Amino acid sequence: MLYNLFEFLENQYQLPGAGLFQYLSFRASVSVILSLGISIIYGKKIIKYLRKNQIGENIRSLGLEGEDQKKGTPTMGGLIIIISTLIPVILMSRLDNIYIQILIFTTIWMCIIGLADDYIKVFKKNKKGLKAKFKLFGQYILGIIVGLIILFHPDITINENLSDDVLIEINENSKVVNEVKSFKTTVPFFKNNELDYQELSNSIFNGNSNLIWIIFIPIIILIIASVSNSNNLTDGLDGLSAGLSAIIVFALGIFAWTSGNVVFSDYLNIMYIPRAGEITIFISALFGALVGFLWYNTYPATIFMGDTGSLTVGALIAVISILIRKELMIPLLCGIFLIEALSVIIQVSYFKMTKKKTGIGQRILLMSPIHHHFQKKGFHESKIVSRFWIIGILLALLTILTLKIR
């Protein structure tokens, strides 16, 4: 919105300083400051409103230390993150950009699903919340929509061969030439680090390129559902999910910046994705919102993220990764999310298997997800969170290094 306004003022009236809005770095910086300010200043007011209306978390009894102190803590804190993200995005980004449109739609769509889940938990006093099949259905619909847009929208392209002549023409005319519709994605640690979904589809369906959606869309659905739900499982300790999400989003911001910048992508020998640089604005706003939310969510938390936040942020991480062609890096970048989800799957599977064989279910962990296992072993909540953050930072750094390690 402000981008278009100041572009008009610069072109028509040569307003001093208006040209700053042409720079992605300036708009990204302002987005961080705005989102951080909104989340801290108005977050306090939202917490007061939620507490006044007794919109608190119904804590399920797990027999953990400090459990009673958390009862009644306001939930639906994801609203702080969502509001603090969308306002700077609307103000600072180019709303005609297809990537921004996809991310705004993802935010609103998953916010509705998360709100429905939290509403059932808080007001209907149903600790299970929205049934899992309805959550998955909403994530499937999102995956189908995102997948179809990527498959058919003409503005979602890449430029594979950036010769010196192409670079000169882009720099002089601010236009992208030789764009191609491609379904390649980045494979970490390999020298020829690209996987082409089109070639994969052709090999399976004997060269029928029209059937790529049978391969591509299920992969998109799987990624969105996996990351969204694993983030939801991770949201069990004060500041754990929000802190890890901020680390992951920061790393994705570096990927979006380099992939959308013709000079950096050429230097790093990675795919140049025209118009993807604008995703940096959304990521900057989301990062600022998450850090601002941590102001109130760190131990002892005065507000919980709720499914409104965890499902939405997880889905956004997945969709951003897909849009910048880095979805195959998710197992490494979101390693803690993966471990949390696997701990639940392994625990439940082993319990059912042993119960079927012996009649008595046995457990591998003291409690799942794995962060509760460490609580049961006597580790303080804040220590678990801090150590998981450190591991998350190391995984993010390793993921960033994959730009050069091949």
| Tokens coding 76 | 């639906």
Per the domain annotation, does 269 fall within a domain? yes
Residue 185 identity (one-letter amino acid): T
Helix (H, G, I), strand (E, B) or coil at 175: coil
Alpha helices in 72-209 (DSSP H): 78-92, 98-123, 132-152, 164-173, 197-204
Do 316 and 330 form a contact (C-beta atoms < 8 A)? Answer: no
Contact status, residue 180 vs residue 159, Cβ threshold 8 Å: yes
* Dist. CA 4–CA 92, nearest whole Å: 9
Angstrom distance (rounded) from CA 295 to CA 35: 13
95-101: Cβ within 8 A, 24+ apart: 95/1, 95/4, 97/275, 97/278, 98/149, 98/153, 98/155, 98/156, 98/275, 99/156, 99/275, 99/276, 99/278, 99/279, 99/282, 99/323, 100/278, 100/279, 100/281, 100/282
Contact 308, 209 (CB under 8 A): no
β-bridge mates for residue 158, sequence order: 180
Helix axis angle, 78-92 to 24-52, nearest 10°: 150
Residue with tokens 């409103």: 49
Structural domain contains residue 132: yes
pLDDT per residue of the chain (406 residues) written in tens, 0 to 9: 776 776 666 667 777 766 777 888 899 999 999 999 999 999 999 988 888 877 766 655 556 665 666 777 888 889 999 999 999 999 999 999 999 999 999 999 999 999 999 889 888 877 788 898 999 999 999 999 999 999 999 999 998 665 555 554 554 444 455 788 989 998 888 777 788 999 999 888 888 878 999 999 999 999 999 999 999 999 989 999 999 999 999 999 999 999 998 888 888 888 899 999 999 999 999 999 999 999 999 998 899 998 999 999 999 999 999 999 999 999 999 999 999 999 999 999 999 999 988 888 899 999 989 999 999 999 999 999 999 999 999 999 999 998 877 6
- Position 56 scores a pLDDT of 67
Structural domain contains residue 203? yes
Q: Which domain holds residue 296?
A: 2-57+69-401
At 382, list the tokens.
Answer: 């804040």
At residue 125, the pLDDT reads 79
pLDDT, position 176? 52
- Looking at residue 2, its pLDDT comes to 73
What is the number of domains present in the chain? 1
Question: How many CB atoms within 10 Å of residue 145?
Answer: 16
Angle between helices 212-234 and 132-152 (to 10 degrees): 130
Predicted confidence at residue 49, as pLDDT, reads 87
How does DSSP assign 196-253, residue by residue? EHHHHHHHHTTT-GGGHHHHHHHHHHHHHHHHHHHHHHHTTSTTHHHHHHHHHHHHHH
Distance CA 255, CA 276 (A): 10
Contact 158, 273 (CB under 8 A): yes
Distance CA 35, CA 299 (A): 22
**What are the phi and psi torsion angles at 400 (to 5°)?**
-65, -35
Any domain includes 108: yes
63 within a domain of the structure (yes/no) = no
Angle in degrees, CA 244, 92, 115, rounded to 5: 50
Between CA 47 and CA 52, with CA 48 as vertex, the angle to 5 degrees is: 120
Q: Dihedral of CA 131/338/86/137: which sign?
A: negative
The answer as to whether 117 is a domain residue is: yes
Residue 341: inside a domain, yes or no? yes
Query: pLDDT value at position 59?
Result: 59
In whole angstroms, what is the distance from residue 335 CA to residue 341 CA? 10
CA count, 13 A, side-chain hemisphere, 361: 11
Residue at 406 is within a domain: no
What does the chain come to in residues?
Answer: 406
Extract the tokens encoding 255: 């990927």
Strand partners, 195: 185
